[in-house]
Amino acid sequence: MNPLAKTIPLPFFLRHLKIPALLVLGVFLVAVVLIAASIGAVSIPLKDILSGSLTDQQEAVLASIRLPRVLLAVIVGGALAVSGAAMQGLFRNPLADPGLIGIATSAALAVAFVIVLAGPITGYLGLYALSIAAFIGALLACFVIFRFARLTGSFSVTYMLLTGIAINALSAAGVGYLTFLSDDQQLRTLTFWTMGSLGGALWVAVIVVTTIAVPSGLILIRNARELNVLLLGENEARYLGVDAERLKRTIVICTALCVGAAISVSGVIGFVGLVVPHLVRLTLGPDHRLLIPASALLGAALLVVADTAARTIVAPAEMPVGILTSLIGGPFFLWLLIKQYAGRFSL
Amino acid sequence: MITADNISYNIGTKQILTRVSTRFAPGRVSAILGPNGAGKSTLLRCLTGSLTPDTGSVTMDGRELDDYSLADLSRKRAVLSQANPISFPFTALEIVLMGRNPYELDHSAARNTEVAMAALEMMDAWHLSDRSFPTLSGGEQQRVQFARVISQIWEQEGACLFLDEPTSALDLKHQHQLLDLVQSLCQQHGLAVVIVMHDLNLAYHCTDDCYFIKDGRIEGSGESRDMINAERISDIFDLPLKYAGMRFGGQQAAILTEPGLPA
């Protein structure tokens, strides 16, 4: 049995506060967004944003630079956290992650492909080529997983995991080879993308990701109750009237859409999908009806904070936010593990 | 009422079940007995609709199992499988409430919670309702899972209840409590109960009918009191008669104490 599952403390008083918990998270997110919008190279005081008394320059900065960036952080953070929560439920493993079934690395491979091999086209299509490539990569990974599921005759979680491991290995080899082939300029682009960054956010990106991630997230929330039942086991879920095959298919597709959309505009931003649902589960319990929306709100808020830090700490330069999330997320996760499970390890 | 008619099931070239026919009537508790690998669990999975037999048919109340939708089946039969680890800290009450999934739209949340709590109370597990399921002991988990299963067919008359080694982790008191509960639910609600079990004494005392299964074939069936005896156990389980007598007391099952032996 998974040692992490054994003993997680249960602050029950929190579980009776389901709606208030979402409200608090929502208010927190709005506050974080407003504060993030006011911070930057051009100072835009919070009270001016709220009262609407902005200079033309402030308004231009807010509308075309600051706001799209903050909103992109909101939607990417939310999408990553939601897909993490859904994957953990699907694999019945609190440590699962969209990276696990190969979606993230396969998206990365597709992007590396465009950057290195398609050279001239990159210059022409610019950033959009990368977005489309990442998205196609993520969907391709899903397609492969589905083909294998059909070949093996069942949508068993074990096969999905094993397929994911194979896709991950192949994609990593592909990215490695492409890195080896690339010239200095390509290498630099590739490196920045794999580190994850929200720099260069445009309204188009915000709109594209929103139109993909929000419907997918809503579908996941709609399936949350059945996802809870699936945690009893696939056969048990079927005995309880849940069409486990259909449910798994829905979750995989929605997760791929969320992850593909997020990765296409931001690169690989780690730990949000892993840490956020874990945090929510520790405080609000594992019920997906609450876990998924709460993860969306918390993931969004945390990525806004991280991105604001990433663009201000070393100003006027900018740090890739992926480095920051891993830098904070990694030790934080270890601290969680040590705090919760010290002395209780038994494999 | 659930009937299997001449069902066979193969994995590759290995025949797991060979032309098995069974009939489980409402108001009767039936045991499926046999050695490891005899096909007990496969038979159970065919009866629950989790596996489709290669040949033959399984019918419930006169309709083929395949003709039911998953949702319809979930209201007509409940299944307690062998332990399935759950790695998320759901409370015991939340686990039992999942048993009410088929009725999520029919009943209010309050009603479903009421049923879940009543089911927990029946299993002497009411005090566990707020505990985290993964932290419970094996026996406590089994009781909570059983409460989930009975809450699934709470209002249903004539439903089927399948239990795969329901007492494997239970202490003596709770073994009897569970089987007493199964017997009374079976009588009150006309349930057809099918239990896969290993404890032959319990089967003798707590079930009405039994099927002996060996190498995928039914090797005898009838009323438990007639069927379960040392000779048949020795035969089915390839056990020398003296051990069969040792492991199965039948009518005389009681703790024998001889004076003079150290306690």
Ranges of beta strands (E only) in chain B are 2-11, 14-24, 28-33, 55-60, 63-64, 77-80, 160-164, 192-196, 209-214, 217-223
Across the A:B interface, residue pairs with CB atoms under 8 Å apart total 96
Asked if A10's CB is within 8 angstroms of B91's CB, the reply is yes
Is B134 at the interface with chain A, CB within 8 A? yes
Q: What is the pTM of this model?
A: 0.84
Q: What is the pLDDT of residue B251?
A: 58
Residue A278 is predicted with a pLDDT of 87
* B228 neighbors B247 (Cβ within 8 angstroms): no
Of B73, B91, B135, the CB nearest to A7: B135
Q: How far apart are CA B237 and CA B213, in angstroms?
A: 10
**Model confidence pLDDT, tens digit, residues B134-187:** 889 999 999 999 999 999 999 888 899 999 999 988 999 999 999 999 999 999
ipTM: 0.89
pLDDT of residue A123 exceeding 60: no
State whether A4 and B87 contact (CB < 8 Å).
yes
At A48, is the pLDDT very low, low, confident or very high (cuts 50, 70, 90)?
confident
pLDDT at B184: 93
Strands B192-196 and B28-33: parallel
CA distance B93 to chain A (A): 12
Contact A236 B78 (CB under 8 A): no
**Interface residues on A facing B, Cβ-Cβ cutoff 8 A:** 1-2, 4-8, 10, 12, 89, 92-94, 225-226, 228-229, 231-233, 235-236, 238-243, 281, 285-287
Closest residue to B134, CB basis, from A5, A241, A242? A5
Mean pLDDT of chain A: 81
Query: A79 pLDDT exceeds 90?
Result: yes
Nearest C-alpha neighbor of A193 from the set A138, A134, A141 = A134
The tens digit of pLDDT for each residue in A200-225 reads: 678 888 888 898 899 999 999 999 99
Residues of B in contact with A222 (CB under 8 A): none
Q: How far apart are CA A333 and CA A326, in angstroms?
A: 10
Residue B231 is predicted with a pLDDT of 86
Q: How many CA atoms lie within 13 A of B28 on its CB side?
A: 16
Residue A316, preceding peptide bond in cis (omega within 30° of 0) = yes
Most B CBs within 10 A among A225, A239, A245, A246, hence the mutation to make, goes to A239
Residue A154 is classified by DSSP as S
Residues B53-82 have pLDDT tens digits of 999 999 999 899 989 999 999 999 999 998
Which among A85, A190, A99 is positioned nearest to A138, based on CA atoms?
A99
Which chain A residue lies closest to B105 (C-alpha atoms)? A225
pLDDT of res. A110: 86
Domains present along chain B, CATH in parentheses: 2-228 (3.40.50.300)
- Give me chain B's average pLDDT, please: 88
For residue A244, give how far its alpha carbon lies from the nearest alpha carbon of chain B (Å). 10
Instruction: Read off the pLDDT band of A195 (50, 70, 90).
Output: confident
- What is the full DSSP assignment across B129-179? TTSBGGGS-HHHHHHHHHHHHHHHTTT-TT-EEEEESTTTT--HHHHHHHH
Residues of A with Cβ-Cβ distance to B50 under 8 angstroms: 235, 238-239
Of B45, B87, B130, the CB nearest to A5: B87
User: Chain A residue with minimal CA distance to B94?
Assistant: A287
Quick check: B84 contacting A, CB < 8 Å? yes
Closest CA relative to residue B11, chosen from B48, B47, B45: B45
Nearest-CA distance A75 → chain B (Å): 27
Contact: B85, A2; criterion CB under 8 Å: yes
Of A10, A232, A238, the CB nearest to B98: A232
CB atoms within 10 A of CB B17: 26
- Contact (CB<8Å) A285/B73: no
For residue A87, give both structure tokens. Answer: 């994957």
Provide the pairing of β-strand B217-223 with B55-60.
Answer: unpaired
Q: Where are the domains of chain A?
A: 3-341
pLDDT of residue A20: 83
> CA-CA distance, A300 to A80, in Å (whole number)?
9
Of A94, A232, A240, the CB nearest to B74: A240
pLDDT digits (tens, 9 = 90+) for A169-183: 998 899 888 888 888
Cα distance between the two ends of chain B: 48
Q: Which CATH number does the domain A3-341 belong to among 1.10.3470.10, 3.55.50.30, 1.20.1630.10, 3.30.450.70?
A: 1.10.3470.10
**B89/A5 touch (CB, cutoff 8 Å), yes or no:** yes
Mutation to test the A interface, candidates B87, B151, B152, most A Cβ within 10 Å: B87
**Tokens 């682009």, residue?**
A189
What average pLDDT score do residues A117-126 get? 54
| A114 alpha-carbon distance from chain centroid | 22
* Per-residue pLDDT at A78 exceeds 50: yes
How crowded is the C-beta side of A30, counted as CA atoms within 13 Å? 6
